[in-house]
C-alpha cells in the first residue's frame, strides 16, 4: 500500500510511505491499496482524507482476487483497471476512475505486472488532481460477480496436453512463488518459462 500526506499544503514537504500491512499506516491525505489481500478497517481508513483500492476489473464484475489473472486465463487481452473508494465489503466502493489497457498474448508475468503497474500509476496520478466531489466517485451499477483466491494448485500443468493449449496458464504462473508444475512417472516437476528475445 502507498500512503501520501501533505500533498496539498505547499508549505510542507510531500511524504510518501510504502507499507505491506495496514497496521503500519500512519495517516495522511491519501491511502492507495494495490493488490492488497486484506480489508483495511475503518480505524485505519479514518486516519486518511481519502482511501482507495486499485482493482483490475470492470466493476462490479470480477470482485475478489487476482482479477486480471483470471481474465487472462479466460482468454481476454483487453482489461479495465478501476480506482474505487475503500469499504468494509470487498471491492464494493464507488468508482472514482477507470483505465482500459491491453496486454499482449505473448506477455509473461513480469511484463503483465509492468502493464498493470502502469495503469495503476496513471489512475493514482489522475486522482491526485481531482476535486473533492470527483473523489467521491459513482456507485457501482449492476450485479456483482466474485472471483476465488488463486492457490498453488492452480499452477498445475497437464503433461498430456500440448503446451500451446495451456499457454495462458503457463505465462501467469509466478516462477518464484508458485511455478507451473506437472506430475509424471511418480514425481512432481516444476516448469519455468523465460522469453529469450524477439520472434
Q: Is residue 196 part of a domain?
A: no
Residues 6+ apart with CB under 8 A from 148: 64, 65
Q: Are residues 47 and 82 in the same domain?
A: yes
Q: Are residues 143 and 72 in the same domain?
A: yes
| Cell numbers representing residue 62 in the block | 470480477
Q: Are residues 80 and 159 in the same domain?
A: no
Q: Are residues 57 and 95 in the same domain?
A: yes
Q: Is residue 37 part of a domain?
A: yes
Question: What CATH number does the domain containing 82 carry?
Answer: 3.40.50.170
What integer pLDDT is reported at residue 181 of this predicted model?
A: 97
**Structural domain harbouring 187:** 152-191
Q: Is residue 15 part of a domain?
A: yes
Q: Are residues 79 and 168 in the same domain?
A: no
Q: Are residues 127 and 56 in the same domain?
A: yes
Q: Are residues 134 and 168 in the same domain?
A: no
Q: Is residue 28 part of a domain?
A: yes
Q: Is residue 199 part of a domain?
A: no
Q: Are residues 143 and 167 in the same domain?
A: no
Q: Are residues 156 and 122 in the same domain?
A: no
Q: Are residues 90 and 142 in the same domain?
A: yes
Q: Are residues 6 and 50 in the same domain?
A: yes
What integer pLDDT is reported at residue 191 of this predicted model?
A: 94
What integer pLDDT is reported at residue 3 of this predicted model?
A: 61
pLDDT digits (tens, 9 = 90+) for 140-187: 999 999 999 999 999 999 999 999 999 999 999 998 888 999 999 999
Q: Are residues 159 and 86 in the same domain?
A: no
What integer pLDDT is reported at residue 197 of this predicted model?
A: 73
Q: What is the pTM of this model?
A: 0.88
Number of independent structural domains in the chain: 2
As a three-state string, the secondary structure of the chain is CEEEECCCCCCCCCEEEECCCHHHCCCEEEEEEECCCCCCCHHHHCCEEEEEEEECCCCCCCEECCHHHHHHHCCCCEEEEEEEECCCCCCCCCEEEEEEEECCCCCCHHHHHHHHHHHHHHHHHHHCCCCHHHHHCECCCCCCCEECCCCHHHHECCCCCCHHHHHHHHHHCECCCECEEEEECCEEEEECCCCCCCC
Residues of the chain with pLDDT under 70: 1-14, 198-199
Amino acid at each position: 500500500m502507498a500512503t501520501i500526506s501533505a500533498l496539498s499544503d505547499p508549505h510542507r514537504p510531500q511524504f510518501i510511505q510504502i507499507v505491506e500491512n495496514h497496521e503500519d499506516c500512519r495517516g495522511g491525505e491519501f491511502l492507495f491499496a494495490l493488490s492488497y489481500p486484506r480489508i483495511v478497517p475503518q480505524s485505519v481508513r479514518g486516519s486518511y482524507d481519502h482511501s482507495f483500492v486499485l482493482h483490475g476489473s470492470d466493476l462490479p464484475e470480477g470482485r475478489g482476487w487476482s482479477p486480471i489473472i483470471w481474465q487472462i486465463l479466460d482468454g481476454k487481452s483487453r482489461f479495465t483497471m478501476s480506482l474505487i473508494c475503500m469499504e468494509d465489503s470487498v471491492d464494493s466502493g464507488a468508482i472514482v476512475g477507470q483505465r482500459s489497457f491491453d496486454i499482449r498474448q505473448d506477455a509473461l508475468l513480469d511484463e503483465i505486472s509492468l502493464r498493470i503497474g502502469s495503469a495503476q500509476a496513471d489512475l493514482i496520478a489522475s486522482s491526485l488532481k481531482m476535486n473533492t466531489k470527483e473523489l467521491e466517485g459513482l456507485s457501482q451499477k449492476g450485479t456483482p460477480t466474485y472471483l476465488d483466491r488463486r492457490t498453488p494448485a492452480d499452477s498445475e500443468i497437464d503433461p498430456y496436453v500440448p503446451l500451446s493449449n495451456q499457454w495462458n496458464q503457463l505465462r501467469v504462473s509466478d516462477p518464484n512463488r508458485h511455478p507451473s508444475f506437472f506430475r509424471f512417472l511418480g514425481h512432481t516437476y516444476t516448469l519455468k518459462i523465460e522469453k529469450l528475445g524477439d520472434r
